[in-house]
């Protein structure tokens, strides 16, 4: 998908191949990723040109329509997922449970909570994952801010933790 986006939009000169490990740096792939999420309709173009299984097509279509790009405040680590808070489409705070694909968010972030992150949440087989890129912000929070986050968490928890974007 990243290689296709790069070929269509000519973002970088490097050729991004669908293999691991890739010769292209994460910085370059991140530039392409930013274009993808600015223009998620590129996913439809990719689906139309690539030879993909129906399962992969279904997953990609959900990414196009159900992704959630933005800033998220990680409030707690639970065994099943990391709990983040962010506003929904109506501007109301909601809690989301994010799973790591091969490693938990707690092991990836290795930071005391709360921590502000920037990423793209995407649906995957009934769970919420992220698109493999997480930006963190080294911000310390005073007691007043932490108390406010606790209140926000309690209010959002009334609606439960969203664990699927499907």
**Predicted local confidence at residue 42, as pLDDT:** 98
Residues 35 and 87 in one domain: no
What pTM did the predictor assign?
Answer: 0.93
At 97 the three-state DSSP class reads strand
Residues 16 and 36 in one domain: yes
Residues 49 and 119 in one domain: no
In DSSP notation, 49-82 reads HS---HHHHHHHHHHHHH-EEEEEEEEEE-SS-E
In the chain, which stretches have pLDDT less than 50? none
Residues 157 and 84 in one domain: yes
Query: 152: closest CA among 108, 110, 94, 82?
Result: 94
Residues 90 and 123 in one domain: yes
Q: What distance lies between CA 46 and its chain's CA centroid?
A: 20
Residues 92 and 105 in one domain: yes
User: Would you say 166 and 126 are in contact if contact means Cβ atoms under 8 Å apart?
Assistant: yes
Residues 99 and 80 in one domain: yes
Full domain range(s) for residue 95: 67-162
Tokens of 84: 């983040």
**Predicted local confidence at residue 18, as pLDDT:** 79
Domain boundary among 37, 64, 91: 64
**Predicted local confidence at residue 50, as pLDDT:** 95
Residues 126 and 76 in one domain: yes
CATH code for position 144: 2.40.50
Residues 102 and 116 in one domain: yes
User: Cα–Cα distance between 31 and 66 in angstroms, integer?
Assistant: 21
Residues 52 and 101 in one domain: no
For 27, half-sphere exposure in the C-beta direction (CA atoms, 13 angstrom radius) is 0
**Predicted local confidence at residue 22, as pLDDT:** 77
Residues 81 and 100 in one domain: yes
Residues 60 and 72 in one domain: no
| pLDDT digit string, tens, across residues 52-98 | 999 999 999 999 999 999 999 999 999 999 999 999 999 999 999 99
Phi and psi torsions of 123, nearest 5°: -80, 145
Quote the number of domains for the chain. Answer: 2
**Predicted local confidence at residue 164, as pLDDT:** 97
**Predicted local confidence at residue 165, as pLDDT:** 96
Domain boundary among 64, 86, 105: 64
End-to-end CA distance of the chain: 20
């Amino acid at each position: 998908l990243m290689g296709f986006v790069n070929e269509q939009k000519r973002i970088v000169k490097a050729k991004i191949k669908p293999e691991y490990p890739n010769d292209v740096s994460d910085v370059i792939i991140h530039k392409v990723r930013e274009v993808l999420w600015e223009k998620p309709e590129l996913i439809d173009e990719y689906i139309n040109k690539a030879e993909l299984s129906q399962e992969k097509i279904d997953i990609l279509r959900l990414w196009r329509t159900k992704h959630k790009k933005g800033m998220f405040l990680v409030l707690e680590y639970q065994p099943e997922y990391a709990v983040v808070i962010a506003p929904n489409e109506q501007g109301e705070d909601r809690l989301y449970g994010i799973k790591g694909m091969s490693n938990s968010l707690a092991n990836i972030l290795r930071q005391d909570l709360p921590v502000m992150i920037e990423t793209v949440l995407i649906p995957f087989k009934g769970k919420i994952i992220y698109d493999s890129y997480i930006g963190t912000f080294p911000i310390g929070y005073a007691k007043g801010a932490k108390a406010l986050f606790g209140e926000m968490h309690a209010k959002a928890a009334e609606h439960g933790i969203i664990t699927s974007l499907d």
